[in-house]
Amino acid sequence: MTQLPPLNGLRAFEAAGRRLTFRAAAEDLGVTQGAVAQQVRQLEAHLGLLLFERLPKGLALTPSGRSYHAHIATAFDDMRRATDSLKPEPGDVRISVTPTFAAKWLIPNLPGFSALHPDIDLQILATERVSSFHSDGIDLAIRQAPPPFGAALYAIRLFRHEIMAVAAPALIENHSVPLDRDAIAHLPKLHDAHDLWPAFLKRLNVRDQSGHGLRLSQTTLAVDAALSGQGIALVSHFLVARDISAGHLVQVIPDIMPGQHDFHLLVERKSRRNPAIEAVIAWLTSEAQPAT
């Protein structure tokens, strides 16, 4: 046993090789970035070779490091499976989503999931912060980001980010739909953290003449403000499809602007052996299918 490398160094190496940055590995392990870097350096010193190339924006495994990581990652997976086999199969699944996704799509659709899977307790972590599969204990994540997401993660695109302008019928009752350019220019606009109005108006060749408008920190707040007739909101279609079908919101112009990043469902590849997680994945992809 004295010939084995330090376990902390192996854990740091496994995480860094999986995430290819010390910062992301530190988040997974719940330690500081400096601690991970130091543990990797100590492991390299113990082995007498470099495992990573240090790059300006991350890490790259050396040929020796790549071969070693494959074995170490397999060993850690074997230990996790051995530990999991000692415990009963959990029916809890923890999913990380943004507050807007939770409020405008996931929670309204949850009754259907509960009817299909009453034995699965779906726990929702709604946060703007990017959650870690390890330190936050999540099983699934829905993120608006571009691939690739890393070799350890399996990704499924759930929704395209297709941005449309919506408003409450009361706001536009004195206008014909689709709105003309003058109406678009003068009606109040609702701004969120994504700040999509400048690009949207440029696409329409319209100069805004509505003033500053209401500024909100989250898209879900902009949608709620639109529902109460306070202005026009820009939002991805799937998030307001239910409100449009119910007549609570109206798409005020037919133009749709492609968003920068689509919405992806992420899961660690090793977690797909869990039946409860697989059931949630199947339900999410089935529910999202009409909108993709």
Domain span at residue 12 reads 7-84
Asked if the structure places residue 107 within a domain, the reply is yes
State whether 126 and 210 are in the same domain.
Answer: no
Asked if the structure places residue 287 within a domain, the reply is yes
Q: Look up the CATH number of the domain holding residue 109.
A: 3.40.190.10
One-letter identity of residue 267: V
Please report the DSSP string for 120-140 in residue order. -EEEEEE-SS---TTTT--SE
**Per-residue pLDDT averaged across 267-287, rounded?**
91
Per residue in 235-248, pLDDT tens? 999 999 999 999 99
Backbone angles phi, psi at 231, to 5 degrees: 165, -175
Judged by average pLDDT, the poorest of 17-21, 84-88, 238-242, 271-275 is 84-88
Is the model's pTM score more than 0.75? no
CA separation for the pair 25, 21 (Å, rounded): 6
pLDDT band with cut points at 50, 70 and 90 for residue 131: confident
The answer to whether residue 148 scores a pLDDT higher than 90 is no
Asked if the structure places residue 2 within a domain, the reply is no
Asked if the structure places residue 263 within a domain, the reply is no
Domain count, the chain: 3
Residue with the larger pLDDT of the pair 158 and 292:
158
pLDDT band with cut points at 50, 70 and 90 for residue 1: very low
Per residue in 248-258, pLDDT tens? 999 999 999 99
Cβ atoms within 10 Å, residue 180: 12
The pLDDT of residue 89: 56
Residue with the larger pLDDT of the pair 211 and 210:
210
State whether 234 and 277 are in the same domain.
Answer: no
CA separation for the pair 99, 105 (Å, rounded): 10
